[in-house]
């Protein structure tokens, strides 16, 4: 039995609508009747707060049901919450006797939805990977033509820039990513050495120019050329794929994230404007051709930028 369904399958919408309905009904009941279930006022108020929380989640599921796979972030948050609450409540029931209806409510609102939510998340992941492959296939054969259409914030054409001098194209992840912030810090530190080799730095991001400028100002890089690739066209032209689960959630990524946080004080935050699963990349381009590149194995990689550009003098002389 295949677990992959059509992107437009009604099963995903049905899962969120049904879960949303359970959350809303349970939330309302908990808010109204909690005081009748518990002798302790403190327990009743806590349960009412939980009911309000379930009510809010139920409404969120209703809103996400119009496009469940695109709104996978809401499903993912609900998935984590349902797992946490289910195991938390089950553990609590082992050490303290609770009324039977409490377990029944947990079963209805949380436990039974773990597998259906996992199905939605799995299909969201698979379909995004399939779409990623299609986009890369469509753009892969048109490197020069796409570069001709890409202008930086300073109205410099990317292809013409590569004719004038080697261009170090730095494809960034979202600005909320701690590794993206670390890359920007490193670019700031290495900038003089790169530009002394007559190499042009161009940053590629998935935001509009105004948002990019505001973020790059924090690293004193707003005066660099950068490209607003909001549709990720240039990313796919350079065959930069979306990250796999291990590339973004692996243990090495987590350890590196903690290391960066404690050493440099950078941390990750969510963003709505950019694809949080997009892999970064670094390319040295001359005359519209890729001379050197660094292929990330995970989002936590630290690319050897100086090694990438070390042959720049030889490249310019050819």
Residue 14 belongs to some domain of the structure = yes
Same domain, 102 and 181: no
Between CA 285 and CA 19 the distance in angstroms is: 50
What φ, ψ does residue 63 adopt, rounded to 5°?
A: -65, -35
Same domain, 108 and 188: no
Residue 1 belongs to some domain of the structure = no
Count of the separate structural domains present in the chain: 2
Final residue before a domain boundary, out of 84, 102, 129: 129
Amino acid 73: pLDDT: 86
Same domain, 107 and 165: no
Amino acid 170: pLDDT: 96
Same domain, 25 and 113: yes
Final residue before a domain boundary, out of 99, 129, 159: 129
| Three-class secondary structure of residue 205 per DSSP | strand
Torsion-angle region of residue 96: left (phi > 0), alpha (psi -120 to 50) or beta? beta
Same domain, 194 and 269: yes
pLDDT digits (tens, 9 = 90+) for 187-203: 999 999 999 999 999 99
Same domain, 180 and 296: yes
Residue 141 belongs to some domain of the structure = no
Same domain, 237 and 168: yes
Specify the pTM.
0.68
CA angle 137-141-147, nearest 5°?
110
Whichever domain contains 191, its CATH number is: 3.40.30.10
Amino acid 103: pLDDT: 60
Same domain, 119 and 172: no
Amino acid 269: pLDDT: 63
Same domain, 153 and 106: no
CA 9 from chain centre, in angstroms, equals: 24
Final residue before a domain boundary, out of 129, 161, 179: 129
Which residue ranges in the chain fall short of pLDDT 70?
1, 34-44, 91-108, 134-135, 137-141, 265-272, 311-318
Residue 110 belongs to some domain of the structure = yes
For the packed helices 251-264 and 178-196, what is the interaxial angle rounded to 10 degrees?
70
Same domain, 113 and 231: no
Same domain, 154 and 208: yes
Between CA 15 and CA 35 the distance in angstroms is: 31
Range of the domain at 19: 10-129
């Amino acid at each position: 039995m295949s677990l992959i369904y059509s992107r437009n399958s009604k099963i995903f919408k049905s899962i969120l609508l049904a879960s949303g309905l359970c959350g809303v009904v349970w939330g309302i009941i908990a808010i109204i009747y909690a005081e009748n279930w518990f002798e302790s006022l403190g327990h009743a108020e806590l349960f009412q707060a939980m009911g309000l929380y379930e009510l809010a989640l139920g409404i969120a599921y209703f809103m996400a049901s119009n496009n469940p796979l695109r709104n996978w972030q809401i499903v993912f948050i609900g998935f984590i919450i349902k797992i946490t609450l289910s195991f938390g409540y089950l553990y609590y029931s082992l050490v303290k006797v609770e009324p039977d209806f409490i377990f029944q409510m947990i079963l209805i609102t949380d436990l039974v939805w773990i597998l259906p939510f996992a199905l939605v998340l799995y299909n969201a992941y698979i379909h995004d990977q399939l779409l990623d492959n299609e986009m890369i296939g469509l753009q892969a054969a048109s490197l020069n033509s796409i570069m001709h259409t890409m202008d930086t914030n300073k109205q410099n054409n990317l292809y013409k820039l590569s004719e004038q001098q080697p261009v170090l194209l730095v494809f960034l992840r979202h600005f909320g990513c701690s590794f993206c912030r670390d890359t920007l810090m490193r670019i700031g530190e290495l900038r003089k050495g790169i530009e002394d080799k007559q190499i042009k730095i161009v940053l590629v991001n998935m935001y509009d120019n105004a948002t990019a400028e505001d973020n790059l100002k924090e690293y004193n890089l707003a005066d660099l050329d950068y490209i607003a690739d909001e549709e990720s066209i240039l990313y796919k032209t350079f065959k930069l794929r979306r990250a796999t689960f291990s590339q973004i959630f692996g243990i090495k990524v987590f350890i590196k994230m903690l290391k960066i946080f404690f050493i440099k004080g950078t941390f990750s935050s969510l963003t709505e404007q950019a694809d949080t699963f997009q892999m970064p990349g670094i390319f040295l381009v001359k005359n519209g051709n890729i001379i050197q590149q660094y292929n990330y194995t995970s989002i936590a990689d630290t690319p050897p930028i100086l090694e990438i550009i070390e042959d720049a003098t030889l490249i310019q002389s050819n």
